[in-house]
Amino acid sequence: MEYPVTRMRRLRQSEAMRSLVRETRLEPSALIQPLFICPGENVRREIGSMPGVFNLSIDEALKEAESAKKLGLGGLLLFGLPAEKDEQASGAWAEDGIVQQSLRELKKAAKGLLLIADVCLCEYTSHGHCGVVKKTRDSYEIENDKSVSLISKTAVSLAAAGADIVAPSDMMDGRVAAIRDELDEEGYENTPIMSYAAKFASAFYGPFREAADSAPQFGDRRSYQMDGANLREAMREIEMDISEGADMVLMKPAMPYLDVVRAARERFDVPIGAYQVSGEYSMMQAAFAKGWLEPERAMLESLVSIRRAGAGFIVTYFAQQAARVL
């Protein structure tokens, strides 16, 4: 009888042994929690398709921030649901916009916790698109350059309100350069830009649109978000964002695009994050509710896989849940 010389199982025989040789680790400081802030007081409204995720009024968001800080999370990513929407997305760049107000409050209440402001127009436009829409007789067009000027105005107003990082998620061309320019001009040269450099037009954003009330009223986002079939184009997008001044880049969604994360990690030396989006969260929650997946193990496995693919940090709706078990 011949025995195997190399026995891979030797290093798998106990948790202590496995833990010693583990290649990929998760820590709370690499997790970013998205928050959806809405007007009012004492509002904590669960999102139907996202169990455990809420629309929160500012007072409730403060409690959430405190617990995020206690758990040692890497930061919060803020989205806003304005009381009113219009064609110019004025709620996105208003000095007293919902996210601007919450930034001022959070800044006082959760010192040391990174506050990242998502920069986009879709939650604030009446039509739900991420840019300015020009309607023609039987069609419409998203006006890139007009959108970019509102987007950079939004970024400055969020920085002024106290955002530690601004994160443009609109996918208009030239927005990173425009934002960098305006930030520098207004004295926010130290505010980093985390660009959603490779953001795919994904069906997995479905539940988010319920959470942020931002579904386009007509058409879809395929003229600005990327075609899910394209990896090389994603590399060009990242390269451009970095050359325009992005300090770090995000890939999104995460699990269906782990190859993009890996390719980006091998090619670029800026910090790279991935966004485990609403649909990724919701499908797992649905399976947990049916008893089809073990919640804790499936959650951690999904996060480890994103990390292993090369993401230094992860935006995830599981942030607090995961931090609790780590």
Annotated binding site: 120, 122, 130, 209, 221, 237, 278, 317
For residue 238, state whether it binds ligand PBG (rule: CB under 6 A).
no
Rounded to the nearest whole angstrom, what is the least distance from the CB of residue 252 to ligand PBG in the complex?
7
Strands (E), 28-128: 31-37, 44-47, 50-56, 75-80, 115-119
- Given its phi and psi angles, is residue 69 left (phi above 0), alpha (psi -120 to 50 degrees) or beta? alpha
For residue 120, state whether it binds ligand PBG (rule: CB under 6 A).
yes
Q: Closest-CB residue for ligand PBG? A: 208
Supply the residues annotated as catalytic: 199, 252
Rounded to the nearest whole angstrom, what is the least distance from the CB of residue 189 to ligand PBG in the complex?
25
Instruction: Return the range that interacts with ligand PBG (CB under 6 A); candidates 14-22, 41-49, 85-93, 118-126.
Output: 118-126
For residue 208, state whether it binds ligand PBG (rule: CB under 6 A).
yes
Annotated binding site for Zn(2+): 120, 122, 130
Minimum CB distance to ligand PBG smaller for 90 or for 109: 90
- Counting residues that bind ligand PBG (by CB under 6 A) gives 11
Rounded to the nearest whole angstrom, what is the least distance from the CB of residue 11 to ligand PBG in the complex?
37
Minimum CB distance to ligand PBG smaller for 142 or for 277: 277
Type of residue numbered 145: D
Instruction: Return the range that interacts with ligand PBG (CB under 6 A); candidates 15-23, 57-65, 115-123, 290-298.
Output: 115-123
- Residue 82, preceding peptide bond in cis (omega within 30° of 0): no
Minimum CB distance to ligand PBG smaller for 106 or for 212: 212
Minimum CB distance to ligand PBG smaller for 130 or for 161: 130
SS3 assignment, position 264: helix
Rounded to the nearest whole angstrom, what is the least distance from the CB of residue 215 to ligand PBG in the complex?
8
For residue 278, state whether it binds ligand PBG (rule: CB under 6 A).
yes
Task: Name the burial class of residue 82, with classes exposed (0-12), middle (13-18) and buried (19+) by CB atoms within 10 angstroms of its CB.
Answer: buried
Minimum CB distance to ligand PBG smaller for 151 or for 264: 151
For residue 118, state whether it binds ligand PBG (rule: CB under 6 A).
yes
Closest-CA residue to 99 (of 31, 154, 176, 33): 154
Instruction: Return the range that interacts with ligand PBG (CB under 6 A); candidates 57-65, 102-110, 116-124, 239-247.
Output: 116-124
Site for ligand PBG in 122-181 (CB under 6 A): 122, 130, 169
CA dihedral 266→317→168→240, nearest 10 degrees, is 10
**Contact residues for ligand PBG, defined by CB under 6 A:** 118, 120, 122, 130, 169, 205, 208-209, 221, 277-278
